[in-house]
Amino acid sequence: MDPHIHTSGLIRIGVTSRIDLLLRINMEDKLSAKEIASHRSISSCWIVLDGKAYDVTSYLNEHPGGAAILLKQGGTDATNEFRKIHSPDILKYLPKNAYLGTIDAAARAALPKSSAGVESIGEAEEAKELPHISSIVVPNDFEAAAKAVMPLKSWTYIFSSAHDGSALRGNLTSWGAVRFRPRIFHDVTTVDPRSSILGSASAFPFYVSAMGQMGRGHPAGEIGVVRALAKRGVHGLISSETTATMEEIATAFADEKNKKRKETSAGETEQERPEAQLHFQLYVPSDRAIAVQRIQRARATGVFRSVWVTVDTAVLGKRTADRRLQAAEALATSPELSAHAERAGFGLLAHHSNSQLNASLTWDDLKWIKREWGGPVVLKGVQTAEDAARAADLGVDGVLLSNHGGRQMHDAPDALTTLLEIRTYYPSVLDKLEIFLDGGCRDGADVLKAVSLGAKAVGVGRPFFYALSAYGQKGVERCLDIFSDELVTGMQLVGMKNLDEACPERVNASRLLNEIWRPEKSRL
């Protein structure tokens, strides 16, 4: 645990003594339901997950989801609530001595089942009816639909951004600052939006961005997303912090792709009808052994075409709305947690514990990451032309210009501006690696702006999470259809028959160009 995070003096949550723990481990087979159920306080909190009992007392204070939500599971079988949010892989972040032992089936059956999970935190603001899916016509419509039916805490997790939201607002408005220059008298009866991403054919030059914990939106979680991707032939970037395990995700994806292949008319090649592909997003944890294991597991699934290393999360950004909710939750749970609420209010707790992230990563770490993966590597979260140029020099296969959806540095540049900066100062980068963009794209036609300026593809995040949360897999499929329909219509309206015709003259980016960084004269 990071010493900066452990703020002594704010709150001391009692820790079961080591001797007591050792005794309990020896008594493993004697852990009774009654005994477990009695540990549900701030001074001793036990939970059962998949038939195994854990003492989470010392972790209450460290849990990035807050102490209150864990405390509510105290003394119960929390498996169901836990699996709505976390994959079992997350248990590696528990202190080693937290494991108490397995419990037998009879004890497990006798335990109270927790129902006080994340759904119980904040009802949807006004419980409205979910609009019929046919009334969802633009990607932004999913946001309101999701808000109507989602618990406030889960909705906030998706919606929230850093500090006062300035980077998120910048992302959203940047796309409108670039205008098309539509050309006339081209036969656009049919247009061809096919592209490729890191050497794999792609039906469209967009993909679904990496988002963690998608089970918080809908029980279908990441499985619903990858099935929808496989059905529609679209690429997706899968987070390393998922609700389902990466093996479950890979199996569902392969299964849906097989079904799709059987339906596809014989004789059509991969180039003619591109299949969906998955890529793996990697948060590099501070423990290298865990990172290596993660890379090896991703490779073993056989479904991931590349690894995208997230580089904009040395530490976690200040997610204001989540922190307010976490503090309110702690205050409402028990007076004992008020000190914890103070801590959450300062924002020391948030989505990731420090062991999940690694503030000491440097360019040198790329060597072992590339070696372990052995395939294409992309840096996710590049925000300056200089860093893009350095990545190109080091032989990285791609950079994703991104400010993490405005969730990290709140006054960070939007991706289009960074792309223009690269075009201005290091144009050769465009020939050396593939450039991807994400952040605030809410219109399929906007994807054409980025492609015209030299990007390979655009990632889209929140609209897909909202779509999943409101309508499950069906919502993700509809969101993919909306994006692809807008893209194709956009190509027709600007007179672009295929993506080879995309070039800088297709857009007027003068307004954003005015805003790009300029070196001070004395530094030239």
Ligand X SMILES: Cc1cc2nc3c(=O)[nH]c(=O)nc-3n(C[C@H](O)[C@H](O)[C@H](O)COP(=O)(O)O)c2cc1C
Which amino acids are annotated catalytic?
283, 312, 404
Instruction: Give the x/- contact pattern for ligand X in 128-167, rule: CB under 6 A.
Output: -----------------------------xx---------
- Environment class of 524 (CB within 10 Å of its CB; exposed 0-12, middle 13-18, buried 19+): exposed
| Tokens (6 digits) for 26 | 């020896």
| Interface segment toward ligand X; rule CB under 6 A; list 197-205, 400-408, 421-429, 503-511 | 400-408
Nearest residue relative to ligand X (C-beta)? 461
| Interface segment toward ligand X; rule CB under 6 A; list 49-57, 91-99, 175-183, 456-464 | 456-464
- Strand 195-197 relative to strand 200-202, pairing: antiparallel
C-beta separation of 186 from 493 below 8 A: no
For ligand X, give the closer residue by CB, 24 or 407.
407
Rounded Cα–Cα distance for residues 522 and 144 (Å): 49
| Tokens (6 digits) for 150 | 């989602």
Interaction of residue 65 with ligand X, rule CB under 6 A: no
Q: Rg of the Cα trace of the chain?
A: 24
| Interface segment toward ligand X; rule CB under 6 A; list 29-37, 402-410, 418-426, 449-457 | 402-410
Interaction of residue 357 with ligand HEM, rule CB under 6 A: no
Please give the distance of CA 74 from its chain centroid, rounded to a whole number: 28
**Binds 461, which of ligand X, ligand HEM, none (CB < 5 to 8 A, cut-off by type)?**
ligand X
Of 305-364, which residues contact ligand X (CB under 6 A)?
310
For ligand HEM, give the closer residue by CB, 102 or 196.
102
Pick the closest to residue 518 from 393, 420, 414, 391 (CA basis): 420
Number of CB atoms found within 10 A of residue 514's CB: 10
Rounded Cα–Cα distance for residues 348 and 295 (Å): 29
Rounded Cα–Cα distance for residues 151 and 132 (Å): 19
Interaction of residue 117 with ligand X, rule CB under 6 A: no
For ligand HEM, give the closer residue by CB, 82 or 483.
82
Rounded Cα–Cα distance for residues 442 and 301 (Å): 32
From the list 45, 65, 171, 207, which residue makes contact with ligand HEM (rule: CB under 6 A)? 65
Enumerate the β-bridge partners of residue 400: 380, 436
**Binds 438, which of ligand X, ligand HEM, none (CB < 5 to 8 A, cut-off by type)?**
ligand X
| Interface segment toward ligand X; rule CB under 6 A; list 18-26, 45-53, 205-213, 359-367 | 205-213
Interaction of residue 351 with ligand HEM, rule CB under 6 A: yes
Pick the closest to residue 497 from 292, 270, 96, 193 (CA basis): 193
| Interface segment toward ligand HEM; rule CB under 6 A; list 13-21, 57-65, 411-419, 504-512 | 57-65
Rounded Cα–Cα distance for residues 353 and 63 (Å): 7
E-strand stretches of 220-345: 235-238, 278-282, 304-310
From the list 66, 151, 212, 274, which residue makes contact with ligand X (rule: CB under 6 A)? 212
Site size for ligand X (CB under 6 A)? 25
Local structure of residue 442 (DSSP, 8 states) = -
From the list 55, 77, 81, 438, which residue makes contact with ligand HEM (rule: CB under 6 A)? 81
| Tokens (6 digits) for 456 | 């390979």
Instruction: Give the x/- contact pattern for ligand X in 232-261, rule: CB under 6 A.
Output: -------x-x--------------------
Helix/strand number for the chain, H first, E second: 22, 17
For ligand X, give the closer residue by CB, 460 or 491.
460
| Interface segment toward ligand HEM; rule CB under 6 A; list 20-28, 81-89, 195-203, 401-409 | 81-89
Rounded Cα–Cα distance for residues 56 and 97 (Å): 10
For ligand X, give the closer residue by CB, 221 or 459.
459
Handedness of CA 211, 214, 216, 218 (dihedral sign): positive
Min dist CB 188 to ligand X, Å, is 28
Interaction of residue 352 with ligand HEM, rule CB under 6 A: yes
Interaction of residue 354 with ligand HEM, rule CB under 6 A: no
From the list 76, 114, 174, 281, which residue makes contact with ligand X (rule: CB under 6 A)? 281
**Binds 202, which of ligand HEM, ligand X, none (CB < 5 to 8 A, cut-off by type)?**
none
Interaction of residue 461 with ligand X, rule CB under 6 A: yes
Min dist CB 469 to ligand HEM, Å, is 14
Interaction of residue 157 with ligand HEM, rule CB under 6 A: yes
For ligand X, give the closer residue by CB, 15 or 162.
162
* CB burial string 118-150: b at 16+ within 10 A, e below: beebbeeeeeeeebebeebeebebbbebbbbbb
**Binds 107, which of ligand HEM, ligand X, none (CB < 5 to 8 A, cut-off by type)?**
none
Instruction: Give every CB contact of residue 431 below 8 A, 6+ residues apart in sequence.
Output: none
Interaction of residue 15 with ligand HEM, rule CB under 6 A: no
